[in-house]
Amino acid sequence: MLSPDELIDAFAKVEEENWLLRAFLKVQEPDAVDKIVNRLHRELFAGFNCVACSNCCKTIIPVIEEKEICVISSKLGLNPEDYKKKFLVSTEEGFMINKNPCPHLGINGCSIYEYRPENCREYPFTENKKIRGRLINLVANCSVCPVVFEIFERLKKHYKVEFAEFKAEQQAFSWFDEDDDGYDDFEELEAEEEFFAEEDWAGLVKYRYQRVEQYPDDFEYQKSLGAAYVMNKEYGKAIFYLYDLHKKHPGDPDVQHSLLDALFAIGKDETAINWIVQPNILRLNNVVLDACYNSLRTKRKPRTVYDVYLELLSEGYVTFDTNQLINLLFSDNRFSVKAGDGKSHECYVSISKIPKNM
């Protein structure tokens, strides 16, 4: 196993290949990936002396939960507030150790080992399930943890033939240009996909926050961060952040809609905000029925309710779902609604009769 000093240079030589391995692992069967990584974790950590390494404690800054702060501070004979002042810093992600190397790292390893934070206990996360959802962090940890580095090397041997074929196939994708930030389009798309697949909204916030820090003037990144706050149920922060964006880009519907999502989620509505430009809000009423009617009367064939719904989405902020729209259309005899097999998008709607003089 490499020493921490040897790790940086060794990682630089395989970094590109490790990112490719990540892309390869993403398309493998998730249980199979968990099984092999968990097994390698057990084999490689058996008998390994982490105290002699301690590289994670020197380079990674762990997050500490409130309940852990209470335990650690009481063991150290401090009250939680004094502990926070002395050892922690408050960040977007919560409280974190304020220094690198960690001030709890002593000559014989962690001085609070028995009650160290969960984040430290779990590191490097190779014993966990859902490994495919952690691959970005694992690749980054190859330059920190010699065991993770070795796990990646052994994975390359384990999947030798399949990985070689995958690498050859990837050359066909060389038309994906790398951006000047070192990420390529494919990588960025994949990273986002990973957070959505795992429903890791906190991870999505962190990822998008980093992008905004990198590109502070990029409006697309800014509004996607606002939407991520909403997905992560950080409604207060979302409203504050998005309202500021709304003042700068008052007519942007994406910002308006994310702001409305946050307001509705906390039981408020659009009246809670002094809009610079009022959003168009669609509710289950005659305005929506008339919009559907005017759209359908120009169509010769029935349309799926789902298509009609998509059209409404492009008109404004929709406060109802497709099933509610079906019920509304059923209630108006201007429409003929034919149910398919029960799924809303397979319901068809058309004008039942075009009144004369219209």
Residue 88 parent element (H or E): strand 88-91
Rounded to whole angstroms, the Cα distance separating 278 from 22 reads 45
Contact with ligand SF4 (CB under 6 A) among 104, 134, 208, 257: 104
Stretch that binds ligand SF4, among 26-34, 105-113, 196-204, 220-228 (CB under 6 A): 105-113
In this structure, what DSSP letter does residue 151 have?
Answer: H
- What SS3 state is found at 62? coil
Q: Does 57 bind ligand SF4 (CB under 6 A)?
A: yes
| Residues 220, 214 contacting (CB under 8 angstroms) | no
Residue 54 vs 222, nearer CB to ligand SF4: 54
State which of residues 11, 88, 124, 238 lies at the interface with ligand SF4 (CB under 6 A).
124
**Closer Cβ to ligand SF4, 147 or 312, answer by number:** 147
116 binds ligand SF4 (CB under 6 A): yes
Q: Which of 15, 35, 33, 14 is nearest to 25 (CA)?
A: 33
Task: Indicate whether 245 belongs to the interface with ligand SF4 (CB under 6 A).
Answer: no
Rounded CA-CA distance 165/186 in Å is 19
**Could you tell me the two tokens for 339?**
């149910």
Q: Does 40 bind ligand SF4 (CB under 6 A)?
A: no
Residue 57 in contact with residue 99, Cβ under 8 Å?
A: no
- Residues 55, 73, 126, 258: which binds ligand SF4 (CB under 6 A)? 55
- Residue 125 or 320: the one with the smaller Cβ distance to ligand SF4 is 125
| CA–CA gap between residue 51 and residue 4 (Å, rounded) | 12
The residue among 96 and 305 lying less far from ligand SF4, judged by its C-beta, is: 96
Question: In terms of CB distance, is 105 or 228 closer to ligand SF4?
Answer: 105
Q: Report 134-163 residues binding ligand SF4 (CB under 6 A).
A: 144-147
Closest CB 45 distance from ligand SF4, rounded Å? 7
Computed over its alpha carbons, how large is the radius of gyration of the chain? 27
Q: Of the two residues 97 and 255, which places its CB atom closer to ligand SF4 in the complex? A: 97
Q: Give the containing element (helix H, strand E) for 136.
A: helix 135-141
Asked if 56 is part of the footprint of ligand SF4 (rule: CB under 6 A), the reply reads yes
CB 312 within 8 A of CB 320: no
C-beta separation of 206 from 231 below 8 A? no
Subset of residues 265 to 284 that bind ligand SF4, contact rule: CB under 6 A = none
Scanning 120-128, 181-189, 253-261, 291-299 for contacts with ligand SF4 by CB under 6 A, the matching segment is: 120-128
Please give the distance of CA 276 from its chain centroid, rounded to a whole number. Answer: 30
Residues that bind ligand SF4 (CB under 6 A): 50, 53-57, 62, 102, 104-105, 110, 112, 116, 120, 123-124, 144-147
